[in-house]
Each structure stands twice: as structure tokens, then as C-alpha cells.
């Protein structure tokens, strides 16, 4: 290979590398759409992140949902969704609460908060909240997840977590979670 052939080959390789780098940067949603990742902060006056969920919010007592508050909802949010589940259940993730089409300006839910939005079906096969109820001798984690959506979900009361998550795909603007534990 002559000197000029090597020079041309090096220039072509350089151009290919520059073009590939430019294409991959443009293919990134953040670069092309100006997407800003936001996180919703969720708190409860009943328990802290990673803390123990008080007995009154479980199947061992009155089994009402704990009070929840959140912040960091994007201004262009159309609706909110809440899913509570337990990934430590023996048969796989157990769904404790599905609530969707909540108003976008909602800042939280009071203890026993329901009657707002649309209730989905939990894995106890009923609508509404079903509190922590792990097998005796075990401690499980319970994730309270809030999603800010750019749409409302075209689902009826009784929709499952899987149906809600399916329709949320491509519509989540921000999300956050609060994890509490309960043991028996």
C-alpha cells in the first residue's frame, strides 16, 4: 500500500468513526428530544424508606392503606397511577393495590385513601388496598410506586397490574417509590 493509499484509508476510517459517534448521540432520546429524567419523591407519615410498616396497615389489623405524600410531579402530567406490590412473595410478585387515573394535581392519599381515581384488582382478587400479609416467620418488602403519565388509561375498574403497566408503556413522565417492610 502506498503512502497516499494509507492516508486515504485513514481519512475514511476517521470519517466513519465520526459519523457513527454522531449517529449514536442523535439516537439517544435525551439528545434528540430533550427528555429530562425526573424522580417523584414519596413519603409516608406512618413509616420511612426501608422502615417497618405499622401493623394497622396490614392483614393482622384493620388493613387500611397508609397515608402517602408525593412531590416532583412534572407540570405536563395528565394522570397518576399507584401500584403496591411485594416481590418477596413465595409465588412471585404479589400485587397489593392498583389505583390509576388519579388527578395530576393530587399530592397524596390520606390513610385509607380510596374513592379517588379508578381501583384495579389486587392479587387478593378484590378492588382496593390489601395490606402486607407475609407468611409467618418471614419479612417482606412492599413497594409503593407512583407514576406520572402523559395520558389517562382507557381501562375499567378491576383492571390488573399487568393491564395498567401495559397501557402505561411509553407514557411515563416520572416515577418514584417508597419501600417499607413487614414481618410476622
| Segment (H or E) for 20 | helix 3-27
For residue 83, give the nearest of 75, 93, 74 by alpha carbon: 93
Joined together, the cell numbers standing for residue 122 give 389486587
For residue 180, give the nearest of 61, 68, 48, 78 by alpha carbon: 48
Where in the chain are the domains?
A: 3-32, 37-183
pLDDT in tens, 41-68: 999 999 999 999 999 999 999 999 999 9
pLDDT tens-digit profile, the chain (184 residues): 555 555 444 444 444 443 444 433 333 333 334 444 558 999 999 999 999 999 999 999 999 999 999 999 999 999 999 999 999 999 999 999 999 999 999 999 999 987 799 999 999 999 999 999 999 999 999 999 999 999 999 999 999 999 999 999 999 999 999 999 999 9
Q: Tell me the C-alpha to C-alpha distance, in Å, between residue 184 and each of 52, 122, 138, 179.
A: 11, 21, 6, 17
For residue 154, give the nearest of 138, 139, 166 by alpha carbon: 166
Look at residue 160 in the predicted model and tell me its pLDDT.
Answer: 98
pTM of structure: 0.79
Look at residue 1 in the predicted model and tell me its pLDDT.
Answer: 56
Q: What is the CATH topology of the domain spanning 37-183? A: Phosphatidylethanolamine-binding Protein (3.90.280)
Paired sense of beta strands 172-183 and 38-39, if any: parallel
Residues 164, 120 contacting (CB under 8 angstroms): yes
Amino acid at each position: 500500500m502506498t503512502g497516499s493509499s494509507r492516508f486515504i484509508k485513514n481519512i475514511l476510517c476517521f470519517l466513519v468513526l465520526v459519523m457513527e459517534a454522531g449517529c449514536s448521540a442523535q439516537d439517544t432520546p435525551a439528545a434528540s428530544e430533550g427528555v429530562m429524567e425526573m424522580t417523584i419523591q414519596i413519603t409516608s407519615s406512618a413509616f420511612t424508606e426501608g422502615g417497618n410498616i405499622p401493623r394497622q396497615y396490614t392483614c393482622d389489623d384493620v388493613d387500611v392503606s397508609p397515608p402517602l405524600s408525593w412531590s416532583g410531579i412534572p407540570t405536563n402530567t395528565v394522570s397518576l397511577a399507584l401500584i403496591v406490590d411485594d416481590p418477596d412473595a413465595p409465588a412471585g410478585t404479589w400485587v397489593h393495590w392498583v389505583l390509576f387515573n388519579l388527578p395530576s394535581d393530587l399530592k397524596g392519599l390520606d390513610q385509607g385513601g380510596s374513592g379517588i381515581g379508578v381501583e384495579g384488582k389486587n392479587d387478593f382478587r378484590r378492588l382496593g388496598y390489601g395490606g402486607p400479609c407475609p407468611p409467618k416467620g418471614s419479612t417482606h418488602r412492599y413497594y409503593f410506586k407512583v407514576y406520572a403519565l402523559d395520558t389517562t388509561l382507557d381501562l375499567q375498574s378491576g383492571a390488573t397490574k399487568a393491564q395498567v403497566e401495559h397501557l402505561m408503556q411509553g407514557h411515563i413522565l416520572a416515577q418514584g417509590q417508597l419501600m417499607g417492610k413487614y414481618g410476622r
